Amino acid sequence: MKKIIYLLLVVIALLGIGIYALINKPNGPTPPPSFLDETTECIIKGNISSSGERIYHVPGGSFYDQTKIDTSNGERWFCSEEEARQAGWRKSLR
């Protein structure tokens, strides 16, 4: 009987953790990781176009400000253009 009660308590605790995680899940695109602050150089945006092309945008580029990064779709941040190229992304033409 004690084992059943223990198992029920474990199941209830796990369900509570899962519900908490769902309730506190952020909506929308994911910002850069929290360890990145204003002094970090990972400001290059790796965007995936509607056709699936992997394009990176640098500050000052025509589309940099309007480009939003959604890491749940495979988009990401890069710390250098070299890092982006090595990962198989190309620079925005504008």
pTM of the model: 0.58
| Nearest Cα to Cα of residue 30 among 87, 61, 73, 64 | 73
Q: What distance in Å separates the CA atoms of residue 80 and residue 12, rounded to the nearest whole number?
A: 46
**pLDDT for 3-27, tens place per residue?**
787 667 766 766 666 666 566 655 5
Q: What residue segments make up the domains of the chain, in order of their start?
A: 29-91
**pLDDT for 27-61, tens place per residue?**
555 555 554 555 567 899 999 999 999 999 999 99
| Contact yes or no for 54/91 (Cβ under 8 A) | no
Mapped to the 3 state alphabet, what secondary structure does 10-72 carry?
A: HHHHHHHHHHHHHHCCCCCCCCCCCCCCCCCCCCEEEEECCCCCEEEECCCCCCCCCCCCCHH
